[in-house]
Amino acid sequence: MKLYLDPNGWVIHVLNFDPRQPSEEELDYLRTLPFTNVLVVMHDLPVLTAQEYQDFCRRVYVRVQNDNPTKDKRFLPGSNREVMRVTGRLDEEGEMIGLFGMPEFLPWHCNQPAMPLDQRPDCLTLYSVEGSAGSITAYSNSSRALRDLRQSQHAPPGLLENLDRIEVFYNYSVDLDRLSDSNQDYEGPSGKNTLVVKNKAGIPAILLSNLVTKSFWINDQELNEQIYKTWLDYLCKFLTQKKYVYAHRWRDNEMTFNCQVSGQHARLPFARIEQRLLWRVMGVVTPFDGALRTDFPLYNP
């Protein structure tokens, strides 16, 4: 395994790695770097079978934890509902076999933001199986954004003074095929989490899922709608500025590990979504003391 630091100063790139035969040192990197650096991208991997991918994820994580109680057909058969498909493909009956199969823009979100942090899977792993060339997933770094946000001179009145007191309420139903109002086949968990949190490395970040946020609260009091919308609009735009975003241009046989506390992700429009197939696993790691790692050579593809 060779590790490189992206020129943006936070994304880690991995070359010369075989997930079928990882060493303990390599596994330790993969348990920590997604939390210290938000995103790890593995390039030029060998072709993996579904079983090899699942076995690898089980070795990385303390626990593989499916976070999505949706219909069985979205999961790989025989995977014990641990490996989910992300695709626009249809089965013989015309039903989609994966998540988010629309070709349009998939808005910024993180997975299950309403779940209590001590019950929520920490990390999202995606593996590009086929048809992924030309598809782009954008990842944000809300830890770096939080650092700058505290010094912002343009935040709306009251936001920065209350930043560490805000709770975000999530309550949503969604069509996992198209994000439309019809056929809402998934009820997400409802609940609150604080806006400012710490991830498994103890690093502060902003936990926000733009797609499913419903209201802001302070001291068990819901903020009025005008303040909520003003603050939310500012945060959504601030957190997804280009300087906090890495756009990954997929090729087949790549893998990403992404902390689901320290940022969001979005998929740009992709017309060939029915040809694209990713496998998706969520997992949990043990807490540790960590900090941003910059002690690797710069990535120069």
Residue range 27-63, pLDDT digits in tens: 999 999 999 999 999 999 999 999 999 999 999 999 9
Q: Which two tokens stand for residue 235?
A: 């945060």
Region 200-216: mean pLDDT is 94
Side-chain-side CA neighbours of residue 44 (13 Å): 8
Where residue 212 falls among pLDDT bands split at 50, 70, 90?
confident
| CA–CA dist 176, 229 (Å, integer) | 25
Q: Are 141 and 263 in contact (CB under 8 A)?
A: yes
| pLDDT score of 236 more than 60 | yes
Residue range 120-132, pLDDT digits in tens: 999 999 999 999 9
Instruction: Give me the pLDDT at residue 187, please.
Output: 66
Residue 102 CA from chain centroid, whole number: 18
| pLDDT score of 183 more than 50 | no
Residue range 140-173, pLDDT digits in tens: 999 999 999 999 999 999 999 999 999 999 986 6
Give the class (CATH, top level) of 10-15+22-252+277-284: alpha beta
Residue range 74-89, pLDDT digits in tens: 889 999 999 999 999 9
- φ, ψ (nearest 5 deg) of residue 75: -100, 155
Instruction: Reduce the DSSP state of residue 148 to 3 states and report it.
Output: helix
Region 195-211: mean pLDDT is 95
Arithmetic mean of pLDDT over the chain: 93
Instruction: Give me the pLDDT at residue 182, please.
Output: 44
Q: Are 122 and 283 in contact (CB under 8 A)?
A: yes
pTM: 0.94
More confident residue, 215 or 301: 215
Per-residue buried b or exposed e for 39-48, using 16+ beta carbons within 10 Å of the residue's own CB: bbbbbebeeb
- Placement of tokens 């994820």 in the chain: 57
Instruction: Reduce the DSSP state of residue 192 to 3 states and report it.
Output: strand
- Placement of tokens 């899922």 in the chain: 209
- Placement of tokens 């941003």 in the chain: 292
Q: Where are the domains of the chain?
A: 10-15+22-252+277-284
